[in-house]
Structure 1
Amino acid sequence: MDKHTLFSSFGKWISPINFQQLQEQVTSLRQDAYTKKLTTEAYIKLFLLAHLQETDSLAAISDGLLDEDLQQAVGFRAISPSQLSRKHREIDPSLLSTIFVDLVQHIRHFHQRSSPRMPLKTIDSSTIPLDLTRYRWAAFRKTKAGVKLHLRLVYMDRHTTYPDKAIMTPAKEHDRGQLEVLVDDKEAMYVFDRGYIDYERFDRMTDDGYFFVSRLRKNAFVRVLESFSLAEDSPVLSDQMVVIGTYQNRTENGFRLLKVDDTKGNQLLLITNRFDISAEEIADLYRDRWAIELFFKWLKQHVKIKSFYGFDETAVHNQIFLALIVYCLHVLIQLETNSEKRILQISRWLKAALWKSSRVWIRKFDNRSVP
């Protein structure tokens, strides 16, 4: 009997979650002190499955318990939508945050073994709109409400990326305010867009030994200190050392400024504090930031994130953390099986083989199999 025989595909998928460690935290927070049936562990299993299957409502989650395999997985045969709602808004988001962080550590372990190069970390945010009439606590304009997910995404290769830090704020929070929280590793290369432009912070990052590449606004004032030569076939249009800003408010350090064309022929200005690699490599690093756009697109299209199962802040935060956990679980099975299959394909196969032996699911990850 191999290690996959003991698990259903669903059981195999959630196996990286340390439920024993979770229970210690649950006990410390008295999270299940008055719970008779819907424990925190059962809640997590039900709501992860709801994300996976993009279940429409709490009533639909409740109805899903007609499935005998699901009953066995959570330990009871029925639960009301009102009980689900109460648990969803009472769970401390720190519990789900801890699970997310623990899964990220597992992924980093795989990454460090497989890639000796400096990690590429992309920083960006995405606003998740909410109905103002139901989510007044998240109002940020007269007619709009929303929360903002500030994210740091690690780019391993074109097949594998993963979120390794997430911060949720009201939608009115500016991106720049999160940069210092999201930049904390001097052994990484950071990539971010124009929303994070801050000349003073660029100086501090450089002085503190952090490396970055970002996009500069076209109307930025620059003074050229030196121009560098380029290969004849280089896609980079120019490569210069510059000081950014006016004489009254400018950077203290010299930075490297590249002019490149994007895929639509629009000219981009890229700013970086790295002079030790080629201009072409810098341009490629910035192009790799598309991965975070794809991640946000996946999050909004393939888990339950456009609408929420509860209306208070805790319920919204819990649902977003659960969505991130779903993605990390997909990445871990991708890494464990050394597969180049897309996350979307992994998710589809899981849904098709949910309560079958995990061997049925795992066999599909053979890179020689037909997608």
Structure 2
Amino acid sequence: MAKKTAKNTGLTLEGVELLRQVFPIMRTLAKAGTERDRARNRQLLYSQYASLILVSLFNPVLGTARALVAHSGVKRVRKLTGGSKVSLGSFSEAARVFDPQLLNGILDQLREELRRRQLPRLLSTARLGKVPDKLIDRLVAVDGSILSAMPQMMGRMADRDKGQWCLHAQVQVRDGQPRSTQVTSGKVAGKAAERAVLAENLQADTLYLLDRGYRSADLFNRIHEVGSDYVARLNRKDGRVAEAPLAKDNQPLALPALSDEARQMGVVADEWITLGGRCGASKIGSGHPLRRITLIPLADRASSARQGRERTDQGGRGELILATTLVDLPAEQVVQLYECRWQVELFFRFLKQVLGCKQLLSTKDEGVQMQLYCALITSLLLALCSGGSISKRQYERICLFLQGWADEEELLEVLRPPP
């Protein structure tokens, strides 16, 4: 009788075959959290807990913990998760037993596989004009998104910080996938936390795209010190005009002249500035040359027309004010780069609207973190199996395939790129 060979759970297969590895990947966590269980009484293992979360992500019908637990004894669910039926008490208690950070190992493995495959860019050359490819490859959009759990008792409603979490994400613009993620909770789920989390996770040779929540001279200095650049939105009163810094030949450094394209776009000013200690939460000023670009959107711009009114700043004027360390790039290209920050909003929309992460399965910090990490794992797996970004219709067909309602050929119909 031939020996049974162990199933390969590595990330080496392509397309549809990769979907079959979704649940086996979690089996590497089976022994986690069992160190103190010498009598082997624990029945709900980390691998089954994480797999049950994946079941809810690929089956929108099971959107609550009660629904997931009630159907955990179904034969196919037990086969996929590698365990037996669980109780609601065990499922709730498991959130405090298992370490959410262990899922980061799987996330790092998937991110490395994503980099190895070099997925096609989401951004078209026509949209970014003459922006150099090396800048596009460095683009990382940064933001945070709040997730809240429904209060179980009226007393919980008095504590606004209870049952609230923030997912901080750095999204690689070229493929729309997260490069770095972190979850904070309670009182630290605010703008100060967004700046602090980014400051702790800065990387060199990166071009960060930041909204006004990150406006801080201290943070800008940190980004500059690690050897990276940024394009950040400011308020109208941030910064004051300064003299041009000196180049190596002791001559004033000149900014690129405003082109006709920049003027048609609405750029009205491009100047050197310095930031004082009142910018954001900073107590110090900017310690490097800083450029400020002021743009007043035209009334017929698409972003204004959709809302039926002009886009306004806090001061009441329709202004878009950007600060950047890219001193050699034409103003219109800086504006085009900042518009790519929308990729991080699309990423959060995918997590909440497509994967259903608006509905949290747990009200414990660890449980929320594990659900979000499993959602990120799912997002990366979907990008790997589809070869890039994925639509809601494609996600629905993948769910039908995993549930047995669609075969491989029907799945490939929606995954294959159009001719």
What TM-score do you get using the length of structure 2 for normalisation?
0.73
- The 1:322–1:29 alpha-carbon spacing in structure 2 relative to 1, beyond 3 Å, is farther
Map of 2:185 onto structure 1? 170
- The 1:83–1:284 alpha-carbon spacing in structure 2 relative to 1, beyond 3 Å, is same
Match of 2:210 among 192, 197, 204: 192
Name the stretch that deviates more: 59-68 or 122-131: 59-68
Map of 2:44 onto structure 1? 38
The AA in structure 2 aligned to 1:119 is R
Map of 1:49 onto structure 2? 55
**1:107-157 per-position Cα deviation (integer Å, ceiling 9, x unaligned):** 222238978653211111112223456699x99x8445311222111111x
Alignment pair present for 1:106 and 2:113: yes
- The 1:6–1:164 alpha-carbon spacing in structure 2 relative to 1, beyond 3 Å, is closer
Map of 1:368 onto structure 2? 418
Q: Secondary structure at the match of 1:233?
A: helix
Alignment pair present for 1:239 and 2:270: yes
Shift of 1:190: 0.8
2:165/2:184 contact within 8 Å kept = yes
2:199/2:222 contact within 8 Å kept = no
1:225/1:243 contact within 8 Å kept = no
Higher relative contact order (CA 8 A, sep 6+): 1
- The 1:128–1:5 alpha-carbon spacing in structure 2 relative to 1, beyond 3 Å, is closer
Match of 1:310 among 362, 365, 369: 362
Q: Give the number of aligned pairs.
A: 353
2:139/2:206 contact within 8 Å kept = yes
2:356 and 2:70 map into 1 onto residues whose CA distance is: 17
**1:284-312 per-position Cα deviation (integer Å, ceiling 9, x unaligned):** 11111111112222222233433333332
The AA in structure 2 aligned to 1:350 is I
- The 1:282–1:319 alpha-carbon spacing in structure 2 relative to 1, beyond 3 Å, is same
Shift of 1:88: 3.5
1:241 and 1:254 map into 2 onto residues whose CA distance is: 7
Higher strand share: 1
Residues 293-332 of structure 1 correspond to what in structure 2 (within 5 A)?
293-332=345-384
Residues 88-99 of structure 1 correspond to what in structure 2 (within 5 A)?
88-99=95-106
Alignment pair present for 1:252 and 2:287: yes
Residues 1-371 of structure 1 correspond to what in structure 2 (within 5 A)?
10-14=19-23, 17=25, 19-20=27-28, 22-23=29-30, 26=32, 34=40, 37-54=43-60, 55-65=62-72, 67-76=74-83, 78-111=85-118, 118-131=137-150, 142-145=159-162, 146-156=164-174, 160-173=175-188, 174=192, 175-184=194-203, 186-225=204-243, 228-234=256-262, 235=265, 236-245=267-276, 250-262=285-297, 263-264=303-304, 265=310, 266-335=318-387, 342-356=390-404, 357-358=407-408, 360-368=410-418
- The 1:171–1:353 alpha-carbon spacing in structure 2 relative to 1, beyond 3 Å, is same
- The 1:327–1:32 alpha-carbon spacing in structure 2 relative to 1, beyond 3 Å, is farther
2:32/2:98 contact within 8 Å kept = no
- The 1:153–1:242 alpha-carbon spacing in structure 2 relative to 1, beyond 3 Å, is same
- The 1:322–1:178 alpha-carbon spacing in structure 2 relative to 1, beyond 3 Å, is same
**1:30-79 per-position Cα deviation (integer Å, ceiling 9, x unaligned):** 68973564332222222111123232323311333464433322345533
- The 1:250–1:65 alpha-carbon spacing in structure 2 relative to 1, beyond 3 Å, is closer
1:5 and 1:187 map into 2 onto residues whose CA distance is: 32
Mind listing any 5+ residue stretches in structure 2 that lack a counterpart? 1-12, 122-132, 245-254, 298-302, 305-309, 311-317
2:138 and 2:415 map into 1 onto residues whose CA distance is: 26
